[in-house]
Amino acid sequence: MPSPTPDPARRSDRARSSILSATRERLAEVGYAKLTIEGIASRAGVGKQTIYRWWPSKGAVVFDAILDASLGPDGSTTLPDTGELEADLRTVMRGIVGELADPATDRMQRAVLAELQLDPPLATELLERLLRPQTDAFADRLCRARDAGQVRDDLDPSVAVELFLGPVFHRWLLRTAPLDEAFADRVVEHALAGLAPR
């Protein structure tokens, strides 16, 4: 009888990483909509069953493929803290805008985002493992600013973070207008004004 729950200890690392690489390659080549398990398996030189054994869905593979690529060094995230709040936020926001505007990552990001809408459990996991560290870091920086008296003292970090990220993300997502550093700067300016000490 084949084991219904495969033993992770015996998992082949070669297979795993070639599947994730192949996924990223196919994703870049044909896009998410035309991505197929068979295509990944054949590119990775792997049997389909080896994919089905370890991942429950196409979305999960893609998700892991992207996670695998993002998590370069250790996974910890911190924002710069030079004391100059507005300058620091500008740096971060410009970085985000730059990444979103990069055509190479754009396609992949949209693919994952699309998948997230249709697969809530996946959304939750990605939220916790990728997004949460970033928003937490953002919130941390704002809390330090609050302790330094640079923003109002009744600051709600979870709301404040969205004041910064929301506009940028909204514009990227819906393509309502060009997404550039000037826009990032203006968002920082206004959001910060909205958080100013009374």
Partner DNA sequence: GGCTAAGCGAGACGGTACGTCTTGTCTTTAG
Partner DNA sequence: CTAAAGACAAGACGTACCGTCTCGCTTAGCC
Spatial separation of the C-alpha atoms in residues 173 and 112, rounded to whole Å:
12
47 is a site residue for DNA (CB under 7 A): yes
Question: What minimum distance in Å lies between the beta carbon of 112 and DNA?
Answer: 16
Q: Torsion angle, CA of 59/95/138/32, rounded to 10 degrees?
A: -10
The nearer residue to DNA, 41 or 165, going by C-beta atoms, is: 41
The binding track of 19-38 with respect to DNA, each residue x by CB under 7 A or -, is ---------------x-xxx
Any idea what the Cα angle at residue 145 is, between residues 144 and 151, rounded to 5°?
Answer: 140
Residue 80 touches which member of DNA, a second copy, none, C-beta under 5-8 Å by kind: none
- Partner touching 14 among a second copy, DNA, none, CB below 5 to 8 Å by kind: DNA
Contacts with 159 (C-beta within 8 Å, 6 or more apart), sequence order: none
Partner whose footprint covers residue 53, from a second copy, DNA, none (CB < 5 to 8 Å by kind): DNA
By the rule CB under 7 A, 50 interacts with DNA:
yes
Q: Give the rounded distance of the alpha carbon of 198 from its chain centre.
A: 34
Using rule CB under 7 A, residue 132 touches DNA: no
Q: Is 113 exposed, middle or buried (0-12, 13-18, 19+ CB in 10 A)?
A: middle
124 lies in the binding site for DNA (CB under 7 A): no
Instruction: Let me know: does 71 contact 44? Beta carbons within 8 Å.
Output: no
Q: DSSP letter at 73?
A: S
Question: Which residues of this protein are in contact with a second copy, per CB under 8 A?
Answer: 1, 31-33, 38-39, 42, 110-111, 113-118, 120, 123-124, 127, 131-132, 135, 156, 158-160, 162-163, 165-171, 173-177, 183, 186-187, 189-196
Residue from 48, 132, 170, 190 in contact with DNA (CB under 7 A): 48
